[in-house]
Structure 1
Amino acid sequence: MALEPHVIHALPKVALHDHLDGGVRPQTLLDIAAEVGHTLPAGDAESLGDWFFEAADSGTLVRYLETFDHTIAVMQRAEDLRRIAREFVEDQAADGVVYAEARWAPEQHLAGGLSLSEAVEAVRDGLAEGMIAASNAGQTIVARQIVSAMRQNDRGLEIAELAVAHRRDLVGGFDIAGPELGFPPERLGEAFRYLQRHNLPYTIHAGEADGLESIWQAVQLMRADRIGHGVRIIDDVEPGDHGEWRVGELAAYIRDRRIALEVCPTSNLQTGIAPTYAQHPFGVLDQLGFTLTVSCDNRLMSGTTLTEEFTHLSSAFGYGVDDLYRFTLNALDAAFLSGPERANLQRDVVDPAYMLVN
């Protein structure tokens, strides 16, 4: 039987793939847009939230990405980045998330005169404020920022250097984002080699809008620690004649080495990966032993929370508390957090809560 949302909400969860500019509160958008003179497509919070979901629910990644023009427009001042980062943490904590990574691309937030370092420091301050606010409310959450480079630009090495320079400013790792098709990971090879030399972990968006070649490059050429989305790995899995599955060499490599996939079910439906939750590759990949994690991608555009993502999966595949615990541990193990910090979260927060339910 599917788990009730209130049960899922109460359980500790881990969010690895959540874009800072994809989770802005509609009211915050309205507030800042009025101050900076940016015109939004709706004039009240409810209508604005509906507009974002409908615009993103188009079935194509290109149209989905267009919605970010509005959120990025209100994230050009230090005080706005700080506010949005603080609210990111508060909203995650309110949903029962105990560890969250906020990924964003500093190069997109310089129009107001900020330097790259000032932008990263503003997000750092917001995340820190959010963790304090959550703690004061009796909620445990640890937050980190993932600094992203836009794959269509030529600033990969510069942004990698930025991430390394600010690793003590709550920077957990690095990512590349933006249009995947036509901009393969190897374009930013110099950036990834720099990160390797400086021991900073990174994830790579791959296998969302492009297929197996993109995933292969991310894993075999760039040596990604995790894969953002990665669900197109299902293209390397075929049904056999007797109900079994044939797992291809790339898929087997990713499965056997437990390279975590950051799966975002609702976002995947919006961009055409699958027509329904029940037809999402998640069920087959889980059955075959892949290391799966669950995230929201963009809570504003997908009109979702991590509680809702797990609710959809529980309804589609019959997952229970033990399964949610397994996916949460997968995410915690893959988190860009120190080993002792991960162990402390599991021992002090995650395990006690799941033991109470069981």
Structure 2
Amino acid sequence: MTDVPRSAVPVTALRGLTADPAKREAYRYDTYLREGLRWFARSADPGCPEDVTFVVLKPDAVAGRRCDLILDLLRERGWSPVAATVMRFDPLLTRELWRYQFNAASEQRIAVVDHLLGSGPSLLVLLRDIVRPGGLPASVRLTAAKGAAEPRAARASDLRTRIGRVNGLFNFIHTADDPADVIRELQLFSYRTGWDWCRRSLVRPSAATTGAGQQDTWLRDLLAEVTAEIPAHDLDLSASLGRIATRDDRWARLARDHGHRERIDRWLTELDRTPLPDGPARWDVLTVLTGWIECNEPGVAPLLSTATAEAWTDRMAHSAEESRSAACPL
């Protein structure tokens, strides 16, 4: 009996979109990737998945007032903002976005992440790589430049280090790992944002370049919108703990009686039954929680690992060698 295919996505469909064989196989069965491939095939310029990427400026970037710095550093390194929209996370979006990594997330991280990402709007910014021609895809180059989410793996040159990343959750930005993730994740975001915010930049790449003054105006307006909703905060753990202790509520009692990392379980228990306070105090509590939790389960690997620039370089060299062999048969 002939086996019935379990995927409508051809084996070859992801060959140029990721250097990871495990991802090529897993994404053939991923609904969001399949829908995204269809949308890009019908609506976008053929080179878009390689030439563009995106950055999500998360609520912690807004609270820490890092957004302008992040965008300036991205421009400095060759990624130009060409479209943007305001979006909001909810628990389902978070789990689907990180579907292939959340298996390795600790229970502590899972308990905190929805409170963090749900604490206000995020800004989704489409970026065109003006450095890329002939090189790494825009998303892969940005993945390599931003550095690891975990501070212990940080390098001084990483974008996350330069923007003052605080801890494993207060790392301010999310980006797509490679072109396959650009397609899959923009499709996921489209259920909230639609496509109109970025359609022109994906359909007609030459129309995506605007004057600096025009660009600054539309982006500045969106930044003002998200900033108005989230109060500025220093994201400093010691200062946050001191401010919490002066309050008159359950969080204050925790800060006074259990104000050290070894008592994080008590804080997580409280988080499960007591709403976070409003305003800056919310960010005080989040600063303590994100500073004390362990983000990952020891000894558990994600279903799919982050793509590396080295893997893409090897893949490009292999493809070039195959092309030379095909052109010059022995």
**Same fold (TM > 0.5):** no
Normalising by structure 1, report the TM-score: 0.22
Structure with greater contact order relative to length (CA < 8 Å, sep ≥ 6):
2
Higher-Rg structure is: 2
Higher strand share goes to which structure? Answer: 1
Normalising by structure 2, report the TM-score: 0.23
